[in-house]
Amino acid sequence: MTLAWDPDRYLAYADERGRPFVDLVGRVAAVDPQVVVDLGCGPGNLTSLLADRWPAATITGVDSSDAMIRAASDSSAAERVAFHRADLREWLGAAPRAGVDVLVSNATLQWLPEHLDLMPALVRAVRPGGWLAFQVPGNHDQPSHTLRAELAAEPPYAAHTAGAAAPHAHGAAVYLRALQALGCEVDAWETTYLHVLHGQDPVFAWVSCTGARPTLQALPDDLRTGFEDELKARLRAAYPDEGHGVVLPFRRIFVVARTP
């Protein structure tokens, strides 16, 4: 099933989602890159930061979602960034070898189960001495994900949600070793952010436009509301609001590699 992403819902927590991107790009020491590519650019708001960082570079944003590319193309970022719709794997197959100075991918690779096998292709897309930088969520063992998976496995939902896409990532050391084996100099680290969220059922609002979205889309209309209500209740119990907002711990895994 092709996923339909919602740019407006995704941007509801733009500041929280943008902070890891800023922390990632801040560790890329490229001085004057000519070609910069953002794989999985989403609505383009973060890709525009690459144009701020390297104003002389040609910046390209790539995403597989029609809705995301439309939103990016309609944004002010389109004045400085070229946005294209393509699957990441298709882009890697068509990209000129060693044609990119800085290749960035933010919270995208976790949707590709085989993404560790893509490391050689990602490195090949970057010129010698260039930069590959990516960030993936590392919180898939947390209630924000496990509660959704548990509920989805229960009747009557299981018949519809079996096989729905779910994000997955490896630990920082796994990526470090894989890229070292390809001759890269690698800086890999992990950070757990404590996001303070407000509003009604904010954790559900967060996951409903990211990790839980494939599950929600897999459900028929007559079951989706009941699933959402039960998931909200379970998330409220796991993430209580004690009067100062709901605290959502969010582990992120970062990798910055200099190609050989």
Asked if residue 60 belongs to a domain, the reply is yes
Q: What is the mean pLDDT of residues 117-134?
A: 97
- Give residue 105's pLDDT band: very low, low, confident or very high (50, 70, 90): very high
For the chain, give the mean pLDDT: 93
Residue 176, classed as helix, strand or coil, is: helix
Asked if residue 26 belongs to a domain, the reply is yes
Q: What is the mean pLDDT of residues 27-50?
A: 95
CATH of the domain at 177: 3.40.50.150
Asked if residue 101 belongs to a domain, the reply is yes
Asked if residue 1 belongs to a domain, the reply is no
Asked if residue 2 belongs to a domain, the reply is no
Asked if residue 138 belongs to a domain, the reply is yes
CA torsion sign for 66, 68, 69, 73 is positive
Q: How many residues does the chain have?
A: 260
What's the CA gap between 94 and 88, in Å, rounded? 10
Asked if residue 116 belongs to a domain, the reply is yes
Could you give the number of structural domains in the chain? 1
Q: E strands, 25-166, where?
A: 35-39, 58-63, 81-85, 100-106, 126-137
Q: Across 3-7, 13-17, 40-44, which has the greatest mean pLDDT?
A: 40-44
Q: Are 65 and 41 in contact (CB under 8 A)?
A: no
pLDDT, position 5: 46
Q: Is pLDDT at 25 greater than 80 in this prediction?
A: yes
Helices first, then strands: H and E counts in the chain: 12, 7
Asked if residue 143 belongs to a domain, the reply is yes
Q: What is the mean pLDDT of residues 235-259?
A: 97
End-to-end CA distance of the chain: 38
| 160-207: pLDDT as tens digits | 999 999 999 999 999 999 999 999 999 999 999 999 999 999 999 999
* Structural domain boundaries, residue 62: 7-258
